[in-house]
Structure 1
């Protein structure tokens, strides 16, 4: 097993499996973290690395609903991502597909769970790829750095909102 820890984000890759698991704790209630995950107005505030602008082209967070986000760099290059929601159970779980449009047909199944741990949230995201090779290609593509930065931004958003509520 390979475990990669960056700040509070932990990425785990088990040998000979098609899965990658990422785990992080947030100093905010799980309802708040879940809501940020399904609110199209908040996605641009946290989804993806900071160097990209995120555009929500489509987002219908319900079973059978679709999503499509576009990341745009400073030079105007765009990178599309899309999927279909299979299960959305507030505030516990989201199951969806994930596909980078630059690699059509390379679809993973992602399950995000939100656990309440003493008023904090433990979020676990598992991505299951079609093959071990596809998993390895994603793990080696900078996925861990992108996930770390994305979840760091999500933490800033929900923890800032939580601090604002206490004031």
Structure 2
């Protein structure tokens, strides 16, 4: 599945031999700025998710061995909550777990790679290994593509404002 959200295309693909979801997207900003948008809780909350939701950070210890928790907010009310652990934070990648509170047995392992491109651009590749094909398909059918795509449009705008 590919969607064009601005001048960049977001590619979302499901693995055929493993229950994975791979998201690839380029940004017009250097790796350090894109990485910071993923690790700074104030910045992260500004771009994550669809336009119709806000993100409220409830816990954020962004370091190897740290943990996180946030909720998606609509009209002042939490409609979904997520939590996980940061397994590795490096300048070129983040490895973390991801769990939806409504399905606590469905832990996914996500690796986000930050690759430097020419002209101070960055390609991110997020690979999420889900616990089962059913869990993966549930994520894909949940509107995840809208949240990812709209979130990346918000991240484009944020990267254009921050230095």
Which TM-score applies when normalising by structure 2? 0.92
Q: Distance in 2 between matches of 1:152 and 1:38?
A: 18
Q: Across the two proteins, how many residue pairs are aligned to each other?
A: 159
Deviation at 1:17, TM superposition (A): 2.0
2:69 corresponds to 1:96: no
Deviation at 1:75, TM superposition (A): 5.8
Q: Distance in 2 between matches of 1:140 and 1:79?
A: 16
Deviation at 1:112, TM superposition (A): 0.4
> What SS is found at the alignment partner of 2:18?
coil
Paired residues for 1:63-142 under 5 Å: 63-74=64-75, 76-90=77-91, 92-118=92-118, 119-142=120-143
Q: Which moved more, 1:71-80 or 1:140-149?
A: 71-80
> What SS is found at the alignment partner of 2:142?
helix
| Structure 1 residue aligned with 2:46 | 45
Which TM-score applies when normalising by structure 1? 0.90
Gaps of 5+ in 1: 163-167
Q: Distance in 2 between matches of 1:98 and 1:5?
A: 23
Does structure 2 retain, via aligned residues, the 8 Å contact 1:16–1:132?
A: no
Q: Could you say what the CA RMSD is over the residues aligned between the two structures, in angstroms?
A: 1.3
| Structure 2 residue aligned with 1:149 | 150
Does structure 1 retain, via aligned residues, the 8 Å contact 2:71–2:78?
A: no
